[in-house]
Amino acid sequence: MVLDEMHTLTKSKLITISLHDFALPVPRSGSIEAHSGYGRSAADGREIHQRVQKKRAKADPLYQAEVPVSCLFERDGYCFRVDGRLDGIFRHDPPKIEEIKSAFNVRELSRRLAGNPLGHPYGLQLLSYGYFNWREHQVSPALSFHLVSSRSGEAENLDIPLDLPLYEQWLDSRLDELVIEAKQAEKRAARRRKIAAGFTFPFANPRPGQIELMQEIEQGMAEGKPLLIQAPTGLGKTVGVLYPVLREALGRGQRVVYVTPKNSQHSVAEDAVSRFQETGARVKSLSITAKAKICFKNEPLCNPDYCEYARDYYAKLPAHGILDLPGKETEIDGPRVSRPRRTVPGLSI
């Protein structure tokens, strides 16, 4: 999320957020599955989009594809700027906004969107585009989904009404959530800067070559250059890289993402974080493991019919305190989150 990117304006703090991150049900609901609307669209979805957009543009000169939109919302000293790009608009009177979505099972997706558009990220995306348009032009546009099957190419259209009072009810709750998230992000940034002030190298003497490595990295960061570093085994690369990078990121109030090609290499980075913690630095680590490695079922086929852990996943996260863990724990990984809760039916990460 982009909530960490804050800019102070004369009165409110400006926070930019993508429409994808903005248009979420309050509270979150639904299961882990292909129709959830929480994930990013797949590459084959983009190809379907482009095909439909080309067809529309050819058939209607008033059709415009990929239109950037933006809307500002003020709340409690913050100014949230929501940026998005709608798939297409027919500039008729009134205008019609069309979102193109692809899914394996179009009928099922259509059933869900028609039943409760405010409870689904896709529905909220389309309604938000409609609302932004209404705010700008004071005209309520027609809203429609064009749903295309990625399996058979079969397509169907689904009209969604823009109910302004209902949308504004959701918007009110969502802005309340964003204010809470913004305040939490500010606290995290302040906490990180405080840690950076006393952040020290975890060993009395760096190994030969480690000082040179750290100086290279510091210089690269100062110049904003990407670096590709090759260093021999046993030099202490992990600590040698993490120390200058963490110190810089924490000083900026930011976090560090450390990626390893294999799960076994996670532990080296986790050990390095423990070393920093032993110096008194209150840094925290969160390890993300491939789901295939921590799946409780025979296969990671994440859908609510096959897996009880996938069922109602988004409601279970707050209900079982998972979202509070980062505030309480210093080291979080898959086994640590799931082990004590396996007695709770249907909860995993």
Q: Which residues contact ligand SF4 by CB under 6 A?
A: 32, 291, 295-297, 300-302, 307, 309-310, 348
Residues 6+ apart with CB under 8 A from 105: 34, 35, 149, 151
Shortest gap between Cβ of 340 and ligand SF4 (angstroms)? Answer: 16
Residues 6+ apart with CB under 8 A from 88: 52, 53, 56, 63, 64, 65, 66, 67, 97, 98, 99, 100
Of 262, 268, 207, residue with least CA distance to 240: 207
Q: How far apart are CA 330 and CA 277, in angstroms?
A: 9
Chain centroid offset of residue 325 CA: 18
Residue 131 or 309: the one with the smaller Cβ distance to ligand SF4 is: 309
Residue 187 or 342: the one with the smaller Cβ distance to ligand SF4 is: 342
Token pair 């939490």 in the structure block, residue? 184
Residue 274's identity, in one-letter code, is S
Shortest gap between Cβ of 312 and ligand SF4 (angstroms)? Answer: 11
Residue 36 or 133: the one with the smaller Cβ distance to ligand SF4 is: 36
Shortest gap between Cβ of 337 and ligand SF4 (angstroms)? Answer: 12
Q: Which residues pair with 230 in a beta bridge?
A: none
Residue 265 backbone class (left: φ over 0; alpha: ψ -120 to 50; beta: rest): alpha
Shortest gap between Cβ of 110 and ligand SF4 (angstroms)? Answer: 24
Residue 235 or 295: the one with the smaller Cβ distance to ligand SF4 is: 295
Residue 45 or 300: the one with the smaller Cβ distance to ligand SF4 is: 300
Shortest gap between Cβ of 311 and ligand SF4 (angstroms)? Answer: 9
